[in-house]
Amino acid sequence: MAVIALAGCSGAPGVTTTALALLLSWPLEPGRRMILAECDPDGGAVAHGLLQGTLGDRYGLRNLSVAARKGEFGEAFWRQLIDLSGEDDLQQSPRDRLLLPGIADPAQAASMNSVWKGLSQMFRGIEADHGHDVLIDLGRRGAADPSGVLAEQADAVLVVVRNTLRCLQAAQSRVSALGERVGDVGLIVIDEGPYPAGEVQRVLQVPVVATLPYAPKDARVLSDGDEQPRKFTRSPLMRAARTASTVLVQRAAARRARLDPRRPFATSGEVNHAPR
């Protein structure tokens, strides 16, 4: 089980869409969950994208800052999660794929400064005590400020880039800054441009861990809430995301073994159940 942080950069590389594709395609054993937390200081995108503005302000990251001041952070966290498990969700039971919506306005980010550390500890506890996987969407600016503790405590940090000249140029400073902060960064490449993985690695000096196809029509289902086509879960985008999830877990396990060999990943037999 893993805590994995995804970061973007300027140029709209598609980090939130990638995170949603991973969330909805992540292979889950019985009793396990996948949680996606939108921790982008510039504001979340799922509430008004995939969910088409149906949530209002009833759920989301901002509510945790209020709960923290009342000493109710742990209980409030589980109440803020939205169930994204669908009928097509590979026969999984309800509430297996959960979303913590992000803040609605970048102006709210200042009120979150005291919450990031609590969130990082919460994610660690969820992973260690319940055996659930956690994805953190850092956006294009997260981890460059107090939210950096989320990246520091993650098992793996991946930067989503497109293999176009514009995006690779924009990614250089972001990849370098994250590497200095966490020491080990990988790439997820959206295969839109002409540069192969080897060239992307040479330019950015970090490994390409996974590649997703450039599939605008399927991506808009996740980014903008477009109507889901038939067999969407078996589309090239979602199949590639499912393959990528296995690679990401392996990378997270290898990094944890290297940094903390006394703390192995939990097995499915060790999974406990968090509140439903």
pLDDT in tens, 141-193: 888 778 889 999 999 999 999 999 999 999 999 999 999 999 889 999 999 99
Position 230 scores a pLDDT of 86
Higher pLDDT, 27 or 237: 237
Tens-place pLDDT, residues 56-110: 778 888 888 888 888 888 888 999 999 998 644 444 455 789 999 998 888 888 8
**Average pLDDT over the chain, rounded to an integer:** 86
Name the residue among 121, 123, 120 with its Cα closest to residue 132.
123
Q: Which fold has domain 3-265?
A: Rossmann fold (3.40.50)
pLDDT confidence band for 276 (50 / 70 / 90): very low
Name the residue among 274, 275, 258, 18 with its Cα closest to residue 127.
274
Q: What is the pTM of this model?
A: 0.88
Looking only at the bridges linking them, the beta strands covering 97-100 and 133-139 are unpaired
What does each C-alpha distance from 160 to 18, 21, 217 come to in angstroms? 8, 13, 19
What average pLDDT does the segment 234-260 reach? 89
Looking only at the bridges linking them, the beta strands covering 185-191 and 208-213 are parallel
Please determine, for residue 122, whether its predicted confidence score (pLDDT) is greater than 70. yes
Angle subtended at Cα 24 by Cα 20 and Cα 30, rounded to the nearest 5 degrees: 140
